[in-house]
């Protein structure tokens, strides 16, 4: 339930009375809305935009779960386009964020140092790199 979804807030206030016997007046006061606002939104039918957004959210959830939770908003958006939806990638990203869906990030492989891959160079200086003068001791590469 977010501030941008007044119908859900009105439904929440109505459910508080039905489930917990909390009066509308008290629930409205606690949530910071007027009673007249609640009665205005209580019986209001969903708009076509809200209905479409709900169907879009279901389609996004289905595609995301079908991918095993790996797809992010760009791939979900491509799948929606293939299914015939006209929607922007930003809308898909916003709905995914509202639903708490996030694709898995690509993990880069790190190189490992593995001993014993090739023979070690012979130790001619016996790990003693001190020299009396320049140009006397050179490490092998």
- The three-class DSSP label of residue 31 is helix
The model's pLDDT over 59-102, given as tens digits with 9 standing for 90+, comes to 999 999 999 999 999 999 999 999 999 999 999 999 999 999 99
Provide CB contacts within 8 A for 138, sequence distance 6+.
Answer: none
Q: How far is it, in rounded angstroms, from Cα 114 to Cα 106?
A: 24
Q: How far is it, in rounded angstroms, from Cα 122 to Cα 101?
A: 56
**Confidence band of 112 (pLDDT split at 50, 70, 90):** confident
Number of neighbouring beta carbons within 10 Å of residue 91: 16
Mean pLDDT of 22-32: 91
Long-range contacts of 27-36 (CB under 8 A, 24+ apart): 33/9
Element (H, E) at 48: helix 48-66
Q: How far is it, in rounded angstroms, from Cα 110 to Cα 112?
A: 6
What pLDDT, on the 0 to 100 scale, is given for residue 65? 95
């Amino acid at each position: 339930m977010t501030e941008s979804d007044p119908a859900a807030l009105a439904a929440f206030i109505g459910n508080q009375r039905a489930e917990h016997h909390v009066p509308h007046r008290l629930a409205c006061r606690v949530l910071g809305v007027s009673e007249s606002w609640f009665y205005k939104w209580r019986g209001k039918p969903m708009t076509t935009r809200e209905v479409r957004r709900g169907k879009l959210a279901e389609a996004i959830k289905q595609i995301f779960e079908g991918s095993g939770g790996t797809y992010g908003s760009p791939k979900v958006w491509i799948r929606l386009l293939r299914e015939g939806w006209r929607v922007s990638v930003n809308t898909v990203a916003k709905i995914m964020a509202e639903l708490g869906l996030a694709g898995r990030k690509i993990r880069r492989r790190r190189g490992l140092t593995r001993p014993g891959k090739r023979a070690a160079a012979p130790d001619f200086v016996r790990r003693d790199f001190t020299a009396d003068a320049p140009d006397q001791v050179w490490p092998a590469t």
